[in-house]
Amino acid sequence: MNHPGSSWAIAVLAAAVAGCGSSSSGPDGGGGHWYTTCGAPVCQVYDGGAPDSGVTACTSAQLAGAPCSTQGETCDPGQGCGVLLLCAGKDPKVQTGGCPISRRAAKQDIAYLDAAGLDDLAVKLRAVRLATYRYKDNPGQERLGFVIDDGAGALAVDERRDQIDLYAYMSWAVGALQSQMKRIDAQDREIASLKLRLARPAGRGHRRADAE
């Protein structure tokens, strides 16, 4: 059951999921090598296998590390989760700082957010203005997201590449949802307590009436 107050955070979370797929520019000529892309930051497992990516399946010659002839060309290696092979002159993962890794072994200075930290995320997320828009070089496709220039989404901005960090964006939305769930749980307990207090006087009144 969805509580009415959770719709704002769910909308932001959905916006982030909608933008998680891999993409590449069109072929620009020249040779290179096949590189594996990061794929989607959030990956759902399907019982029937990975959904069709819409990208042509890789051939036996299209393997990570193998030479390719047309930079910008992509193929689907069948790994799912939005992972593709991209023909490029350089590894795209190196250019973007690498793929997000969630294992503890790859991290340091880990500091878990407390309740106050989660509440702060929720407050800041409320200020993010979602918008629909079209890229000037692709006006045929309407997109959903936020505009960096507005300033409110600073927690999910990769300043070095002047773009949105989808991994941080998703984590931010999850933190705000956790804060809201905590508040809803507290409200549910308070409502249950009030119902119990209201029911007790009525019960004693009935017993006194029966005794008379």
Q: What is the pLDDT of residues 90-119, one digit of tens each?
A: 887 765 566 776 778 878 899 999 999 999
Kindly state the helix (H) or strand (E) to which residue 34 belongs, with its residue range. strand 32-36
- pLDDT on residue 127: 92
Bridge partners (DSSP) of residue 143 are 133
Average pLDDT over residues 168-194: 93
Q: Name the band, by pLDDT with cuts 50, 70 and 90, for residue 137.
A: confident
Mean pLDDT of the chain: 78
Lowest mean pLDDT across 16-20, 36-40, 208-212: 16-20
Bridge partners (DSSP) of residue 68 are 32
Average pLDDT over residues 153-167: 81
- Is residue 85 classed as helix, strand or coil in its secondary structure? strand
- pLDDT on residue 63: 93
Q: Name the band, by pLDDT with cuts 50, 70 and 90, for residue 48.
A: low
**CA-based nearest residue to 176, from 164, 184, 186, 188:** 184
Give the DSSP letter of residue 151. Answer: S
Rg (CA), the chain: 25
- pLDDT on residue 126: 92
